[in-house]
Amino acid sequence: MKNIAETLRDDNRLKTLWSAIEKADIEEVLEEKGPYTIFAPTNDAFDKIPSDQWNELLNDPDKLVTTLKYHILPGKYTSKDVAKMKKASSMSGDDITVDTSKGVRVNESKVIETDIEGSNGVIHFIDKPLTPPKHYK
Domain assignment present for 57: yes
pLDDT tens digits along 61-98: 999 999 999 999 999 999 999 999 999 999 999 999 99
Q: Any idea what the Cα angle at residue 50 is, between residues 5 and 130, rounded to 5°? A: 45
Instruction: In whole angstroms, give the CA distance from residue 22 to residue 48.
Output: 21
pLDDT digits (tens, 9 = 90+) for 19-52: 999 999 999 999 989 999 999 999 999 999 999 9
Task: Answer yes or no: is 137 within a domain.
Answer: no
Q: Is 131 helix (H, G, I), strand (E, B) or coil?
A: coil
Q: Is residue 110, in this structure, part of any structural domain at all?
A: yes
Number of domains in the chain: 1
Task: Write out 64-116 in H/E/C secondary structure.
Answer: HHHHHHCCEEECCCCHHHHHCCCEEECCCCCEEEEECECECEECCEEEEEEEE
Angle formed at CA 47 by CA 6 and CA 94, multiple of 5 degrees: 65
The whole model's pTM is what?
Answer: 0.93
* Domain around 67: 4-131
Residue 59: pLDDT over 80: yes
CATH number at residue 51: 2.30.180.10
Q: Which amino acid is at 101?
A: S
The confidence score (pLDDT) of residue 135 equals: 55
